[in-house]
């Protein structure tokens, strides 16, 4: 697959406000936040969309969600509540084709989302 801006962030080639990282996952604040807390969590592995996920990625996806839980606690939004979202392809509004989990909190969330 072709490289993306998130691939460059994960390798430290362009700056981002990183809030968490480990050997598999990097998390940084969204450039265009939709809530007081809006963090993007990405695997270092460049998976383009949820459609490209493979059985071997199961542990990696679990690590993404465990990191989201940790960041929600760090950000002080765990008890009040927060939302996690993965947009897949154009109809869902995906614009960066490196799998990412949005973590949003700090305000009430409406349902259904737009």
Report the catalytic residues.
Answer: 100
Distance, in Å, from the CA atom of 20 to the CA atom of 28, rounded to the nearest integer, reads 7
Residues between 11 and 40 with contacts to ligand DGP, criterion CB under 6 A: 16, 28-32, 40
Nearer to ligand DGP, 56 or 75 (CB): 75
Total residues at interface with ligand DGP (CB under 6 A): 13
Q: Which residues pair with 55 in a beta bridge?
A: none
Using CB under 6 A as the binding rule, whether residue 49 contacts ligand DGP is answered as no
| Binding string, residues 57-96; x marks residues near ligand DGP by CB under 6 A | ------------------------------x-----xxxx
Sheet (strand 37-43) strand order: 18-21, 25-29, 37-43, 101-105, 82-85
- The helix or strand, by DSSP H or E, that contains position 41, with its residue range, turns out to be strand 37-43
Nearest distance, CB of residue 66 and ligand DGP, angstroms = 20
Unique residue bearing structure tokens 């265009």:
32
Residue 112: cis peptide before it, omega within 30 degrees of 0:
yes
List residues binding ligand DGP (CB under 6 A).
5, 16, 28-32, 40, 87, 93-96
């Amino acid at each position: 697959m072709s490289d993306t801006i998130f691939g460059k962030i994960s390798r430290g080639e362009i700056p981002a406000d990183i809030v968490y990282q480990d050997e598999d996952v990097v998390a940084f604040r969204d450039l265009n936040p939709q809530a007081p807390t809006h963090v993007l969590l990405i695997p270092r592995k460049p998976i383009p969309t949820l459609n490209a996920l493979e059985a071997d990625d199961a542990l990696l996806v679990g690590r993404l969600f465990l990191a989201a839980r940790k960041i929600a606690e760090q950000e002080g939004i765990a008890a009040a509540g927060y939302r996690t979202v993965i947009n897949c392809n154009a109809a869902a509004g995906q614009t960066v084709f490196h799998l990412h989990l949005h973590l949003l909190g700090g305000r009430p969330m409406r349902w259904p989302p737009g």
